[in-house]
Amino acid sequence: MATRLQFENNCEVGVFSKLTNAYCLVAIGGSENFYSAFESELADVIPIVKTSLGGTRIIGRLCAGNKNGLLVPHTTTDQELQHLRNSLPDAVVVQRIEERLSALGNCIACNDHVALAHTDLDKETEEIIADVLGVEVFRQTIAGNILVGSYCALSNRGGIVHPHTSVEDLDELSTLIQVPLVAGTVNRGSEVIGAGMTVNDWTALCGSDTTATELSVIDSIFKLREAQPSSIVDEMRKSLIDTYV
Amino acid sequence: MFKVQQTIGSVLCCKCGVPMPPNAANMCVNCLRSEVDITEGLQKSIQIFYCPECGCYLQPPKTWIKAQWESRDLLSFCIKRLKNLNKVRLKNAEFVWTEPHSKRIKVKLTVQAEVLNGAVLEQSYPVEYTVRDNLCESCSRFQANPDQWVASVQLRQHVSHRRSFFYLEQLILRHDAASRAVRIKQVHQGIDFFFGNKRHADSFVDFLSKVVPIEYRQDKQLVSHDVKSSLYNYKYTYSVKICPICREDLIFLPSKVAIGLGNLGPLVVCTKVSDNITLLDPRTLRCAFLDASQYWRSGFRSALTSRQLVKYSVFYVEPPVGETTVGGQKYALSYVQIARESDTGNLFCVQTHLGHILKTGDQALGYDIYGANVNDDEMEKYRLHGRLPEAILIKKCYDKERERKKGKPRAFTTKKLPMEMDESRGGRGVDPGKMENEYEEFLRDLEENPELRFNISLYKNKDYQESDETASMTDGEGAPTVPIEELLAELELSEEGEGDGEDDMDE
């Protein structure tokens, strides 16, 4: 189910958080409201980690990750890296990469199987992405924009892209990623979807400006109505519980 | 270069969910309109002032603009009155129908402005104008005193007849010179014209100076005075004198003038008066021209005027000894034997310049110098020395031919100026019977002299039938009449819409 929330009166939820199927990262805010909203949604299902990256709160735009791994930019400090390694499940590989384009969240859009990358990304980075995240990487543009991470939100079930994407582009991307895509908006007509919302397989969180229409589009494309967290996470729990023993 | 076909997909409007092509705001037009009102801050109702007398609208502070109801001028005036219209772009403006006496004008404006993130929104909205009646300054001044005039032209000619004024009236009508006169009044020995504007009076006086020889002076009278802004309101009066010399007058030139004109015989006949006076010496057939300033330097008066013309019968005309053409008019010098109608026993043998038209048995009009008693010392001296002719013939008389046409209407009519008669001065006012006779003579003059008709418009007489004319023409030479080609058909504006056009085949 899609929910609406705000980070310190700002509707760009995707900037201050990163949600995957295995974990969730949130930024450190003045009040605990943001964190509480995530907790109420995700509670015992996946760990919610409060962090900063490179001393900043815009963690959603700086890092890219899925259930297999997390890539952080070179600006991340050692403490933050250590904190992340400690807090996240062991199955998740945290890797710091040296890349000129350091806002990895803007440059990479990924789900658990496939990733779309900024066209100017280094070859090495692409290889690291393929290794760490365990995905197939495609260099693409969305509606002529090279910042793929900003202009689309992906999950394993579906995705939303920039509203000006043409029908042909939509088809092409859809066949590449193998999930249904729709051109839509979030936060009352904002085109920057990646920054406006964050999503995983059973829940989506959007800015509070999101209209009911947009919410219904999100619900339908990401198939959130039938989704039950338990069914998905049960699979993962097996791997998690393994470590306790 | 191969370009992939790009079809624009459709997204859902973020507010209402209706599918629409994506735009900068990603909202359908209705939702966008409900969100943003670009007409906010624009004037929606305003008051304008209208003068019901002259149909003008006030553009403050002082200009009054004439505009018709629902015209382009009115539309541009209305738009100019709106204040903040420079913030948005005006695409279209049109009138919405309102009841004419509702005192409301409604204009629908379509404006464009940029909203949100670069989307250009177009919106139309109505503006209501409340029309308030307010007399403009000139109308209120006129209302307060309808006879208000600012400039007047007092036209005078100190002669005993009004022939010049009849002719002048026709000229004025033809050139439309008095169209802006507020009032025209006929007075003894003249006409008064009243204008609302000094410029109009100026241009009228200019026109007069071009058609008759005049002398004028201009005076002004203070009406009101605004101390603070030093504005002075005056009434201007032009006192215009037309020279008293008329056509067919006999003039005894003072010696200075005669010498100045090249020793022109002291007895001359005035043959034409336009902006200068043409003087013809009947004995030498020499012509001289005097313009207004030259005339007023000496200011002589005529010895005998057309009132004093006497009928003569012509007994014998000798063949002409000399011919000349002056100013389009032909003259032939010859000796004739004539006698006054009243006194046929007394034969005179005189020279005349009408040798080309006179024949034995004709009647002519001329001045009887032999029997005249003229109040001029110089002339008396001449007479004593026997140097004056006994008579000077001026024109041929058509009375016999006119007898035949007595009572029948003329082929042409003339228009008149709207003049007020001066009834006030009882006795010294104009006598209607005398006026009629003079007017009849004036019309006869027009018939006889084609050059007089040159600058005048004559209109076809509707009551006149051709058949009468042809019947009388069969027996001998008829009286001179105006040929049909010179007449203008009156413009009739009838309900059927077809106007009788002006077929003017004149020069």
Chain B residues whose C-beta is within 8 A of a chain A C-beta are 4-9, 11-17, 22, 25-27, 116
Closest chain B C-alpha to A213 CA, distance in angstroms: 5
| Res B473: pLDDT | 43
pLDDT per residue as tens digits for the range B259-291: 888 888 788 999 888 888 889 888 888 888 988
Show residues of chain B in contact with A185, CB under 8 Å: 11, 14, 26
Residues 58..87 of A with a Cβ closer than 8 Å to B: which? none
pLDDT per residue as tens digits for the range B179-204: 888 888 888 888 999 998 899 999 99
The whole-angstrom separation of Cα B222 and Cα B364 is 55
Nearest CA in chain A to B117: A190
Closest chain A C-alpha to B113 CA, distance in angstroms: 19
Q: How many C-beta atoms lie closer than 10 Å to residue B66's C-beta?
A: 13
Q: Do A213 and B15 touch (CB under 8 A)?
A: yes
Closest chain A C-alpha to B21 CA, distance in angstroms: 8
Q: Do A214 and B14 touch (CB under 8 A)?
A: yes
Q: Which of B16, B45, B12, B46 is nearest to B33 (CA)?
A: B16
0.90 cut: is pTM over it? no
C-alpha Rg value of chain A to the nearest Å: 16
For every residue of chain A, DSSP letters joined together read -EEEE-BTTB--HHHHEEE-SS-EEEE--SSSHHHHHHHHHHTTTS-EEEE-BTTBS-HHHH-EE-SSEEEE-TT--HHHHHHHHHHS-TTSEEEE---SS--HHHHEEE-SSEEEE-TT--HHHHHHHHHHH--EEEE--BTTBS-HHHHEEE-SS-EEE-TT-BHHHHHHHHHHHTS-EEE--BTTTBS-HHHHEEE-SS-EEEETT--HHHHHHHHHHTTTTT--HHHHHHHHHHHHHHHH-
**Ranges of chain A whose pLDDT falls below 50:** 239, 242-245
| Res A17: pLDDT | 94
| Res A150: pLDDT | 94
Q: Which of A183, A185, A191 sits opposite B9 (nearest CB)?
A: A183
Q: Do B22 and A211 touch (CB under 8 A)?
A: no
Q: Which of A163, A213, A217 sits opposite B16 (nearest CB)?
A: A213
| Res B501: pLDDT | 38
Q: Do A188 and B11 touch (CB under 8 A)?
A: no
Chain A interface mutation, best of B12, B16, B18, highest count of A Cβ atoms under 10 Å:
B12
pLDDT per residue as tens digits for the range B64-99: 888 888 888 888 888 888 887 777 888 888 999 888
Show residues of chain A in contact with B116, CB under 8 Å: 189
| Res B492: pLDDT | 58
| Res B495: pLDDT | 47
| Res B496: pLDDT | 42
| Res B493: pLDDT | 58
Q: Which of B7, B14, B15 sits opposite A167 (nearest CB)?
A: B7
Q: Do A216 and B16 touch (CB under 8 A)?
A: no
Residue pairs between chains A and B whose CB atoms are closer than 8 Å: 49
| Res B466: pLDDT | 56
pLDDT along chain B (507 residues), means of 10: 79 84 81 79 86 86 85 88 81 88 89 79 88 85 75 91 87 86 86 90 92 91 87 90 89 87 87 87 87 87 85 87 80 88 84 85 87 81 81 84 72 78 55 80 81 77 59 50 72 46 39
| Res B332: pLDDT | 87
| Res A199: pLDDT | 94
